[in-house]
Amino acid sequence: MPRGGPVARVSTLVFGPKPGRPDVVIRNLAIIAHVDHGKTTLVDKMLRQAGAFRANQQVQERVMDSNPLERERGITILAKNTAVHWHGTKINIVDTPGHADFGGEVERILRMVDGVLILVDAAEGPMPQTRFVTRKALALGLKPIVAINKIDRADAEPLRVHDEVLGLFIDLDATHDQLDAPFLYTSSRAGTATTDLAQPGTDLQPLFQAILDHVPEPKGDPAGPFQMLVSTLDYSTFIGRIAIGRIERGRVTVGDQVALLPLGEPGMVTDEPFERNRVTRLYTFDGLHRVEVNEVAAGDIVALSGFETIEIGKTFTAVEHPERLAGIAVEEPTISADFIVNNSPFAGRDGKFVTSRQLHDRLFKELERNVALRVEPTESPDTHAVSGRGELHLGILMETMRREGYEFQVSRPRVITKLGRDGERLEPYEELTIDVPEEYMGVVMEKLGPRRAELTEMRNPGQGTVRLTFRIPARGLFGYRSEFLTDTRGMGTMHHRFLDYGPWAGPLAGRKRGVLVADREGAVVAYALGNLQERAQMFVAPGDVVYEGMIAGESSRPGDMDVNVTKEKKLTNMRASGSDENILLEPPREITLEYALEYIEEDELIEVTPASIRLRKRMLQANDRKKAARAARVADAS
């Protein structure tokens, strides 16, 4: 991977053109599912069983999750292409992310495949993201194959889940053909598939066979004029923007002069200008490699470079036949936060890139490939408004930047509102799905009420747990996850995804508890924490350094409190020891970026540096905060 460039979608590039194999039989398949249902693990096993690795090759688990953040978090962030050969057929596979923040990416890549493999966890059943991606795939007329996965789980109920998937298909108006989808029972982890539960699978042969039998061959005519839709983007510092998509018609050769049409209605483009350029490089996918080739023909998935104006949804065509394909709408962002130059007292201590110019350039560079992101300058050169699809979307960007050596501050996210038909204010709503043991249902309902959640469905699939589905303003979810985990003692799971825009829900209560704010700069002392911890949950540990206005912990009561966390025990003549050895401290709460985004209030900021994540008050000095609070009270009263 080129240093400083974004993550390559596939780990290695094989250089040097190879003769293309244009006319092999091809299948193009996307694997789609809710988060964690086992997509990437399955791709691993498909690669292995199809012989994509040498016999003695050491390959790490979930090898497609190639970027360090994906590996650390165990989730897929970017959709990625790979391909295997099975009995003379090349199967292009797209592994997709299951997290709702990246749902738009899934929607886009569906345009480059002819079939989908829908994975559903044999215990959890269809989840909100299963519904979202299945709806998109069915609406595009794609033929599904269903894999009820993780049948090795002790709590697996494959037959119940089979019924639930059929119910979902009917709900989503699947066609007869789609309802006829083959069902397989699989274990990604074991690498097995079977069509009949009575006969346990021994390998993935039944899955490969189902792909060959049920995913239609791509239709494009290789003899027609060249045409291809840009479904995803990649970027390399060496060759610039790279377009990835399926060739719809014709063939393309390195050095060909081709047209890249602007976005617009499908059909022949007559009087609009378009970019005309030579194709500099072509790659196809093979196992973990991207293979440089000379020519690619209709039906295959290709990565192509050489053009300045590559954008998702644009069409490449032969210059003499500029026929545009229907484009791809890129999803609108729903939340926005300010990225601000770091002006804390500790600014510049460990960051390599700290100036507003550097921050500006880095944020705009991100737009090369992070298509659902928006970056807007504000009146202040120190501040950029960055908008995305959710906290994880923004959190991943923040984490990536700090690893590259950037230092900056981030405000509390705001939801992006819209105006309705009659000029009324609308805000984003989310669908929230909660699985909890029955005894915690009460506390969940009680906490979600004031957050304006509306219960839309309650199901009791047995085994002592209930599944609650809510419709809730996205704002109402801010800060709820940590409460939820505490309230349900870690026994519950929650997922949410964007639903639609609805009426502004009015003011919502903010954080219930106040924070402890450090009242001076210095090193944190165990003795001081020992005195505070009965009334607070600390965010700092002895030895950490704090500054005035930095948040050191959460109080158990409402209202902020200024505290001295650097206070030493008074030394007496008799025992001249400030030893902290006898103080038993609770471990500090770990502050992750997503947690911080949900946690902070309007008058607070997250300070992000390569070495630390700190929370702070916007106004650092206690006096300034007091004055501001007084002024606000006066304003409220008048």
Ligand X SMILES: Nc1nc2c(ncn2[C@@H]2O[C@H](COP(=O)(O)OP(=O)(O)OP(=O)(O)O)[C@@H](O)[C@H]2O)c(=O)[nH]1
Considering only 183-191, 365-373, 402-410, 479-487, which stretch makes contact with ligand X by CB under 6 A? 183-191
The torsion angle over the Cα atoms of residues 137, 140, 146 and 147, rounded to 10 degrees, is -40
32 part of the interface to ligand X, by CB under 6 A: no
202 with 192: CB under 8 angstroms? yes
Region binding ligand X by CB under 6 A among candidate stretches 182-190, 255-263, 423-431, 589-597: 182-190
Region of 146-154, 255-263, 379-387, 481-489 interacting with ligand X (CB under 6 A):
146-154
Helices (H) and strands (E) in the chain, counts: 15, 39
In this structure, what is the dihedral angle of CA atoms 180, 181, 183, 188, given to the nearest 10 degrees? 180
Q: Which of 164/338 has CB closer to ligand X?
A: 164
| Cα gap 184→600, rounded to integer Å | 46
Q: Is 574 exposed, middle or buried (0-12, 13-18, 19+ CB in 10 A)?
A: exposed
The least distance separating ligand X from the CB of residue 229, rounded to whole angstroms, comes to 24
Q: How far apart are CA 528 and CA 519, in angstroms?
A: 13
Binding-site member from 97, 322, 476, 542 for ligand X (CB under 6 A): 97
Residue with tokens 């504000």: 378
Query: 43 or 341: whose CB is closer to ligand X?
Result: 43
Can you tell me the distance from the alpha carbon of 44 to that of 423, in angstroms, rounded to the nearest whole number? Answer: 51
Cβ proximity of 474 and 432 under 8 Å: no
Closest approach of Mg ion to the CB of residue 471, in Å? 28
Of 188, 277, 305, 334, which lies in the binding site for ligand X, with binding defined by CB under 6 A?
A: 188
Residue 176 Cα distances to 169, 173, 231, 317, 612, angstroms: 10, 9, 28, 35, 55
Helices (H), 50-147: 68-73, 103-109, 128-139
With contact defined as beta carbons under 8 Å apart, do 402 and 396 qualify?
no
Quick one: what does residue 251 bind among ligand X, Mg ion, none, with the CB cut-off 5 to 8 Å set by partner type?
none
- Which is closer to ligand X, CB of 78 or CB of 525? 78
**What DSSP character marks residue 131?**
H
Q: Alpha carbon of 351 to those of 277, 405, 543: distances in Å?
A: 40, 5, 20
As a whole number of angstroms, the distance between CA 369 and CA 174 comes to: 33
Q: Element (H or E) spanning 170, and its range?
A: helix 158-171
Residue 33 contacts ligand X per CB under 6 A? yes
Q: How far apart are alpha carbons 22 and 296 in whole angstroms? A: 5
Nearer to ligand X, 147 or 524 (CB): 147
3-state secondary structure of 635: helix
Stretch binding Mg ion (CB under 5 A), from 21-29, 74-82, 389-397, 553-561: 74-82
Neighbours of 454 (CB within 10 A): 14
Counting residues that bind ligand X (by CB under 6 A) gives 22
> Which of Mg ion, ligand X, none interacts with 404 (beta carbon under 5 to 8 A by kind)?
none
Is 402 an interacting residue with respect to Mg ion (CB under 5 A)?
no
Nearer to Mg ion, 32 or 354 (CB): 32
Tell me the C-alpha distance between 437 and 588, whole Å.
Answer: 28
The binding track of 64-83 with respect to ligand X, each residue x by CB under 6 A or -, is ----------xxx-------
What is the bridge-based pairing of β-strands 240-249 and 232-236?
Answer: antiparallel
Asked if 62 touches ligand X (CB under 6 A), the answer is: yes
Tell the smallest beta-carbon distance from residue 102 to ligand X (Å).
9
What does 370 interact with, of ligand X, Mg ion, none (CB < 5 to 8 A by kind)? none
Nearest CA-CA partner of 398 in 365, 363, 367, 364: 363
Q: Which of 6, 8, 22, 41 binds ligand X (CB under 6 A)?
A: 41
207 is in the binding site of which of Mg ion, ligand X, none (Cβ under 5 to 8 A by kind)? none
- Minimum Å distance from CB 75 to ligand X? 3
Closer to ligand X at the Cβ: 41 or 315? 41
> Residue 209 CB, nearest distance to ligand X (Å)?
19
Number of residues near Mg ion (by CB under 5 A)? 3
Nearer to ligand X by C-beta: 188 or 383? 188
Residue 76 binds to Mg ion (criterion: CB under 5 A): yes
Task: Verify binding: residue 191, ligand X, rule CB under 6 A.
Answer: no
Minimum separation from the CB atom of position 231 to Mg ion (A): 18
Q: Which two tokens stand for residue 174?
A: 């699947």
Residues 31-50 that bind Mg ion (CB under 5 A): 39-40
Closest CA to 262 of 303, 225, 311: 311
Nearer to ligand X, 175 or 463 (CB): 463
Q: How far is the CB of 468 from ligand X (least distance, A)?
A: 22
Q: Which of 9, 27, 37, 136 binds ligand X (CB under 6 A)?
A: 37
Considering the rule CB under 6 A, would residue 35 count as an interface residue with ligand X?
A: yes
C-beta closer to ligand X: residue 75 or 184? 75
Q: Residue 386's closest CA among 370, 363, 405?
A: 363
Please report how close the Cβ of residue 157 comes to ligand X at its closest, in angstroms: 14
Minimum separation from the CB atom of position 63 to Mg ion (A): 11
Question: Residue 37 binds what, of Mg ion, ligand X, none (CB under 5 to 8 Å, by partner type)?
Answer: ligand X
Q: Which is nearer to Mg ion, 75 or 242 (CB)?
A: 75
Nearer to ligand X by C-beta: 33 or 552? 33
CB of 77 to ligand X, least distance (A): 8
Question: How far apart are alpha carbons 99 and 186 in whole angstroms?
Answer: 21
153 binds ligand X (CB under 6 A): yes
Other beta carbons within 10 angstroms of residue 97's beta carbon come to 26
Q: Which residues bind ligand X (CB under 6 A)?
A: 33, 35-41, 62, 74-76, 97-99, 149-150, 152-153, 187-189
Chain contacts with Mg ion (rule: CB under 5 A)? 39-40, 76
